[in-house]
Amino acid sequence: MLNFPSQNQNSIPYFIFIVFLINASSSYLCPLTFTPLTESEANLFTSEICRQIPVGVKLRLNSTGAMKCLSSTTASIVSNESSLISHAICVSITSTPFKVPGTSCPLGNRAATFQEVSIHKAEICSSMGDWEVIHFENQGAIKGPSHYPDCIIIPSEPGIISALLCVKKTPTIVAQVVESQELTCSPGCNTCEEIPTNCTSCSSPAPYLYGNECYSICPAKTFSTGNSCQGKKSDIEIM
């Protein structure tokens, strides 16, 4: 369970939401009306975020990015983090995407995400021409009502972009950190970190910890010391 520092309600123009990786997969889902924090936003608001996040906690950003606060003002931010991460930072969506002619958004705005377009689908569709196609982030597109009843949203629709859906870059809702639900460990694990199978302590009937796994008897070529196994595990198991 994460313990968050006390918060200054006027410290950052973001509403931060911590999300637990329920199925421990490589993907995560922000709550409805929230979207993942981007790497550029994490860099821009590092101090504000790290004043609210415990030092050392690794957090997923959008796509494959990740950040880990090193202090209350600094963080390590990477664009490609392949390991599974149990929490992500999401920010509230505060504005309806708007259409801009051409292939880029005006200064101070960015292309809308699939999630943002999905949330505001009815509003966007109501102002679209019957056969109109408007793109958003990563060449996604929403097609007017003549393509499909009530419009259809396609995650990837390569082609000529004549219009783009954009949103303002900076939400204005006051910051707040919401604690995630506690990680449920795999059977046999007493405690775990990041993902359910990454055991940090064990319980009966497999009380011995070795290499983040729990054993009822220490593996061959290892020996028990308290509640853990020491030594190098044999490649050949004796059945």
The domain of 27 spans 16-93+172-178
Residues 52 and 110 in one domain: no
Residues 109 and 159 in one domain: yes
What global pTM score does this model have?
0.41
In a domain, 7, yes or no: no
The beta strands (E) that lie in the chain are given as 16-20, 34-36, 58-60, 66-69, 75-78, 87-92, 98-101, 109-111, 133-135, 141-143, 152-154, 163-168, 177-178, 189-192, 199-202, 208-210, 213-215, 223-225, 228-230
Tally of structural domains, the chain:
3
Residues 83 and 115 in one domain: no
Ranges of residues in the chain whose predicted pLDDT is under 50: 1-15, 20-27, 171-181, 235-239
Per the CB < 8 A criterion, the answer to whether 177 and 53 are in contact is yes
Q: What is the pLDDT of residues 14-28, one digit of tens each?
A: 445 555 444 334 445
Question: What percent of the chain shows pLDDT beyond 70?
Answer: 73
Q: What CATH number did the domain enclosing 37 receive? A: 3.10.40.10
